[in-house]
Amino acid sequence: MKERRPSGPPACRAMDNPGYARFFAEIADLLEIRGENPFRIRAYRNAARTLETLAEPVDELASRGEQALVALPGIGRDLARKIRELARTGRLEFLERLKAEIPPTLVELLEVPGLGPRRVRKLWQEAGVVSLDDLEAALAEGRLAGLEGFGPTLIAKIARGLAERREQAGRVRLDAADRAAETIVRQLAGRRRGLRLVVAGSLRRRRETVHDLDLLATGCTRGLIERFVALDGVRETLAAGGSRASVRLASGLQVDLRVVPEESFGAALQYFTGSKEHGIALRRRARERGLRLNEYGLFDGERRIAGAREDDVYAALDLPPIPPELRENRGEIEAAEQGRLPALVSLDDIRGDLQMHTTWSDGRDTIEAMACAARERGYEYIAITDHGPTVRVAGGLDAARLARQIEEIDAINERIEGLRVLKGIETDILEDGTLDLPDDVLAKLDYVLATVHTRLALSRREMTRRIVRALRHPRVSALGHPTGRLIGRRPPYEVDFDEIVRAAAGEGKLLEIDGHPERLDLDDHHARRAAEAGVPIVISTDAHAAADLALMRYGVDQARRAWLTPDHVANARPLGRFLALLRR
């Protein structure tokens, strides 16, 4: 399911429903930090939830007048007026006044895992912590240990969260980086045949986040640097010379462009694709052969023996081409040398998508629309996995509605040729490891995806026991987004991953790579470990609209970084063999 994002910049034109919800959630946070009346706080939280999950655009309701808003659950006159103020102006005076009354850096503390408004208040009032820097200092000096409610586990979690935040700072998600790169390449090289402009760096390696874009150009590059720094989206030119330039986009993302001669293009591509560690290992290999490798080529003395093509650089070092996703110095050079490089799974191998939501819960498109989109992608099968009843804010299905959905899927399977729609559910794993739907209901389904959405703060032991119990449930097919992380926003929950892998292997269950670029969960390390232990991996999109089925490429990218071949991937199998896997 999708989750609430921390508040973004105030919108000024049309705002979507989650946009409205964020304002009210922020008010609730601020009131709570100030220690105000709990009922008042709850009223704002309820309003946020109502607005977030409303089927109709809040914009439209607001334009119809106060009455239309007051008719919503939990929205009274005062809230209705605030919603209309937001719709009109994109701002809320009340929120701005609240903000003015507390230190502005205080809200950043809310983004640290483990810190909610109540704890932030305590930090502020009792330890004088009003910023992330203060928090870091307080942690370093051991000053949090004295605070009531701040036990060693919580303090460790805060410290880890803070470190991760610092590391993540300034990194953008893979999908955002893709969009930025595609726009730039289209604008600069769109119809120019003689110009080669390609992406290198972490984006080419398909890392889940990237710090900056590295572009390489060769061929007809006259005027390219000038056109690059003058692009629409450029906010600032950081450096510009004859053969290279760096700019910062309006989004904050830095982009480096290097122009290289054609005879060096392959060597430069190899160098700037990285990773740094892979590059170092490769240059060592060159040195061991009495050669010298740099971004201009591979040299034997003064003579360039490779450089124009990347594959030639590897070949001259007695290696087959190594896919960029593997270039992290995690054994890929040894594997290449021994002819053991995996034949990585690719998007074309994928025959089905096994996690998606429809208008039955929090998705935007109907089952039929999802099915048609899947067929257009050439899939053989999909599973509809709306939420079970626990995720009420997402319109989760109870047994009665699920029964009706099953009938609808039967009817669609009658109508649609060439695609099988599997009946599924994303059932919640409750705190004790039981599921949120009864066994006889689950028994009617083809595919049961079990996931954790609530009570994420359990101890490692409790969380492990909870998930292992769910994996042992005879009706469960797979564990979805197994670690619960949200990239840049929430670290994985505490869990003994090896224990999860053992349970999945023992029970014949699948582990998922949720390919949504916000999750990519399992990540590359985890997925590799699971696959090596013999657990089949299922790659899905967690689509909330038909267009989201295209997110499959991100799941596949992550799978490739995990060294997975089609054999490791459950949904690279034809339907019959996929179903056989579930029946083991």
CB atoms within 10 A of CB 472: 13
Question: 195 has which bridge partners?
Answer: 219
Report the amino acid identity of residue 423: K
| Rounded Cα gap, residues 302 and 403, in angstroms | 74
Specify the stretch interacting with Zn ion by CB under 5 A; choose among 137-145, 305-313, 336-344, 444-452: 444-452
Residue of minimal CB distance from Ca ion? Answer: 201
Report the amino acid identity of residue 128: G
Residue (113 or 201) nearer to Ca ion, CB: 201
Rule CB under 6 A: which residues touch ligand DGT? 201-202, 207, 210-212, 214, 271-272, 274-276, 279-280
Among Ca ion, ligand DGT, Zn ion, none, partner that 578 touches (CB below 5 to 8 angstroms by kind): none
| Rounded Cα gap, residues 58 and 97, in angstroms | 24
Count of residues that bind Ca ion according to CB under 5 A: 5
Among ligand DGT, Ca ion, Zn ion, none, partner that 237 touches (CB below 5 to 8 angstroms by kind): none
Extract the tokens encoding 480: 């979805």
* Residue 260: CB minimum distance to ligand DGT, A: 13
Taking CB under 5 A as the rule, does residue 208 contact Ca ion? no
Q: Which residues contact 401 (CB under 8 A, 6 or more apart)?
A: 360
Residue (269 or 543) nearer to ligand DGT, CB: 269
Residue (of 541, 257, 507) closest to 382 by Cα position: 541
Give the number of C-alpha atoms closer than 13 A to the C-alpha of residue 219, restricted to the C-beta side. Answer: 11
* Residue 463: CB minimum distance to Ca ion, A: 35
Q: What CA–CA distances, in Å, run from 148 to 112, 125, 144, 303?
A: 18, 12, 9, 70
Residue (26 or 512) nearer to Zn ion, CB: 512
* Residue 200: CB minimum distance to ligand DGT, A: 7
513, 537 in Cβ contact below 8 A?
yes
Among Zn ion, ligand DGT, Ca ion, none, partner that 413 touches (CB below 5 to 8 angstroms by kind): none
Sole binder of Zn ion in the list 385, 405, 451, 483 (CB under 5 A) = 451
Residue (310 or 386) nearer to Zn ion, CB: 386
Residue (214 or 436) nearer to Ca ion, CB: 214
| Rounded Cα gap, residues 255 and 244, in angstroms | 11
Residue (82 or 453) nearer to Zn ion, CB: 453
247, 228 in Cβ contact below 8 A?
yes
Residue (275 or 346) nearer to ligand DGT, CB: 275
Residue of minimal CB distance from ligand DGT? Answer: 274
Residue (1 or 333) nearer to Zn ion, CB: 1
| Rounded Cα gap, residues 493 and 486, in angstroms | 10
Residues 238-257 that bind Ca ion (CB under 5 A): 256
- Residue corresponding to tokens 């998600």: 173
532, 558 in Cβ contact below 8 A?
no
Specify the stretch interacting with Ca ion by CB under 5 A; choose among 84-92, 201-209, 285-293, 347-355: 201-209
- Residue corresponding to tokens 């964020």: 22
Residue (of 500, 525, 531) closest to 429 by Cα position: 500
| Rounded Cα gap, residues 479 and 477, in angstroms | 7
Sole binder of Ca ion in the list 201, 433, 515, 555 (CB under 5 A) = 201
447, 385 in Cβ contact below 8 A?
yes
258, 244 in Cβ contact below 8 A?
yes
Q: What CA–CA distances, in Å, run from 338 to 286, 289, 399, 421?
A: 17, 17, 54, 42
Extract the tokens encoding 479: 């564990």
Question: From its phi and psi, is residue 143 left (phi > 0), alpha (psi between -120 and 50) or beta?
Answer: alpha
106, 131 in Cβ contact below 8 A?
yes
* Residue 201: CB minimum distance to Ca ion, A: 3
Taking CB under 5 A as the rule, does residue 1 contact Zn ion? yes
Residue (164 or 212) nearer to ligand DGT, CB: 212
Among Ca ion, Zn ion, ligand DGT, none, partner that 279 touches (CB below 5 to 8 angstroms by kind): ligand DGT
* Residue 203: CB minimum distance to Ca ion, A: 7
Among ligand DGT, Zn ion, Ca ion, none, partner that 275 touches (CB below 5 to 8 angstroms by kind): ligand DGT
Among Zn ion, Ca ion, ligand DGT, none, partner that 272 touches (CB below 5 to 8 angstroms by kind): ligand DGT
CA 33 to chain centre: 29
* Residue 88: CB minimum distance to Ca ion, A: 42
Report the amino acid identity of residue 474: P
* Residue 170: CB minimum distance to ligand DGT, A: 9
Residues 142-181 that bind Zn ion (CB under 5 A): none
Residue of minimal CB distance from Zn ion? Answer: 1
Residue (245 or 437) nearer to ligand DGT, CB: 245
- Residue corresponding to tokens 């190594």: 322
Specify the stretch interacting with Zn ion by CB under 5 A; choose among 2-10, 188-196, 332-340, 451-459: 451-459
Specify the stretch interacting with Zn ion by CB under 5 A; choose among 166-174, 447-455, 489-497, 554-562: 447-455
The residues of the shown chain that bind Ca ion, judged by CB under 5 A, are 201-202, 212, 214, 256
The residues of the shown chain that bind Zn ion, judged by CB under 5 A, are 1, 451
